[in-house]
C-alpha cells in the first residue's frame, strides 16, 4: 500500500525542482484552460466541491482533452450512463453536475481532500489516475509527462506496465506551471496538517469547507509580487537563480 504522506513529500520535492521539457506545447493548452469562459465553468464546480478550479481544469484536460461533452470522471459522455470506470454514473443534466459527481462521489473523492499545497495537489492528481506508478517508485506520467521528472513508463492496459513506453500526453504539473505563468490566481494552499475527511452527502450538495482561495486576501498577488509559497514565487525564484 502506498504511503500518501511519503508520496506527498516526494511530489513536493519533485515540484520544487521541476523543469518543463516541452514548454512550447504546454502554453497553448494552458491558454485554453484559463480562458474566461472555461475558468468560469471550473470556478462554478469549485464553489460546489472545494476543489481548486485549476485542478479541475487539468483533470478535464487529461481525462478528455477539455471536451465539454466528456465526463471529468473518465471521459465518457455525461448525458448517458458511463461504461468505463467508474461505470454506471449518470446520465446528468449538465457537464457541471457530472463534474461535481466525479469529484464528490467517485474515487479518489477529491472533494474530501484537504492538502492543496504543491505536494498535496500532485498527490491528489496522481491518485486520480491510480497509484500503480507510485507503487513501482516511478514518476507518474499523468502528473509529470512533459517535464524532466518523467522519461518513460506507462500502463498500456489495466495492470499492464511497460517501462519502454512513453506517455506523450501533457502532465498535470506542467499544465499548472504553464497556467500560473498566465493567470496569477493559480495558487497553491498551505500544507494541511491532516487530510480529515468531511461528511459528504451522496445525493446532494457536498458538505465541504470553503477553499482558502474563496477567502479575500489582504493584498492580491501579482506577477511582480507573487504570494509567498505560490507557483509564481517559485517561478520568480528560478529567474533570480538564473540571473
C-alpha to C-alpha distances, 97 to 58, 70, 105, 184, nearest whole angstrom: 18, 12, 12, 27
pLDDT reported for residue 43: 98
Section 145-158 average pLDDT: 95
Asked if residue 148 has pLDDT above 90, the reply is: yes
Q: What is the pLDDT of residues 30-87, one digit of tens each?
A: 999 999 999 999 999 999 999 999 999 999 999 999 999 999 999 999 999 999 999 9
Asked if residue 97 has pLDDT above 70, the reply is: yes
**36-40, 53-57, 172-176, 210-214: lowest mean pLDDT where?**
210-214
pLDDT reported for residue 230: 60
Instruction: Name which residue leads in pLDDT, 47 or 208.
Output: 47
For the chain, where are the alpha helices, taking DSSP H only?
4-17, 23-33, 36-49, 53-64, 95-105, 118-129, 132-136, 141-144, 172-182, 231-242
Asked if residue 200 has pLDDT above 70, the reply is: no
What's the N-to-C CA distance of the chain in angstroms?
Answer: 43
pLDDT reported for residue 158: 83
Split at pLDDT 50, 70, 90, the class of 239 is very low
Give the pairing of strands 160-162 and 154-157: antiparallel
Q: For the chain, give the percent of residues with pLDDT over 90.
A: 76
Asked if residue 209 has pLDDT above 90, the reply is: no
Asked whether 167 and 160 are in contact (CB, 8 A), the reply is no
Asked whether 61 and 33 are in contact (CB, 8 A), the reply is yes
Amino acid at each position: 500500500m502506498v504511503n500518501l504522506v511519503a508520496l506527498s513529500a516526494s511530489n513536493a520535492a519533485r515540484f520544487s525542482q521541476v523543469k518543463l521539457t516541452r514548454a512550447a506545447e504546454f502554453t497553448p493548452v494552458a491558454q485554453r484552460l484559463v480562458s474566461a469562459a472555461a475558468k468560469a465553468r471550473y470556478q462554478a464546480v469549485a464553489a460546489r466541491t472545494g476543489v481548486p478550479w485549476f485542478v479541475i481544469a487539468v483533470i478535464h484536460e487529461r481525462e478528455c482533452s477539455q471536451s465539454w461533452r466528456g465526463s471529468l470522471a473518465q471521459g465518457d459522455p455525461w448525458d448517458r450512463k458511463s461504461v468505463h470506470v467508474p461505470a454506471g454514473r449518470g446520465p446528468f443534466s449538465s457537464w457541471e453536475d457530472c463534474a461535481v459527481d466525479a469529484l464528490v462521489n467517485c474515487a479518489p473523492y477529491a472533494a474530501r481532500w484537504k492538502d492543496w499545497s504543491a505536494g498535496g495537489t500532485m498527490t491528489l492528481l496522481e491518485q486520480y489516475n491510480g497509484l500503480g506508478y507510485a507503487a513501482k517508485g516511478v514518476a507518474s506520467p499523468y502528473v509529470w509527462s512533459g517535464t524532466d521528472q518523467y522519461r518513460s513508463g506507462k500502463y498500456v492496459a489495466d495492470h499492464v506496465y511497460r517501462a519502454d513506453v512513453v506517455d506523450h500526453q501533457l502532465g498535470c504539473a506542467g499544465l499548472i506551471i504553464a497556467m500560473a505563468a498566465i493567470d496569477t490566481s493559480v495558487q497553491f494552499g498551505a500544507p494541511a496538517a491532516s487530510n480529515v475527511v468531511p461528511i459528504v452527502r451522496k445525493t446532494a450538495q457536498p458538505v465541504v469547507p470553503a477553499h482558502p482561495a474563496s477567502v479575500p486576501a489582504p493584498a492580491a498577488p501579482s506577477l511582480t509580487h507573487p504570494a509567498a509559497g505560490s507557483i509564481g514565487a517559485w517561478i520568480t525564484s528560478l529567474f533570480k537563480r538564473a540571473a
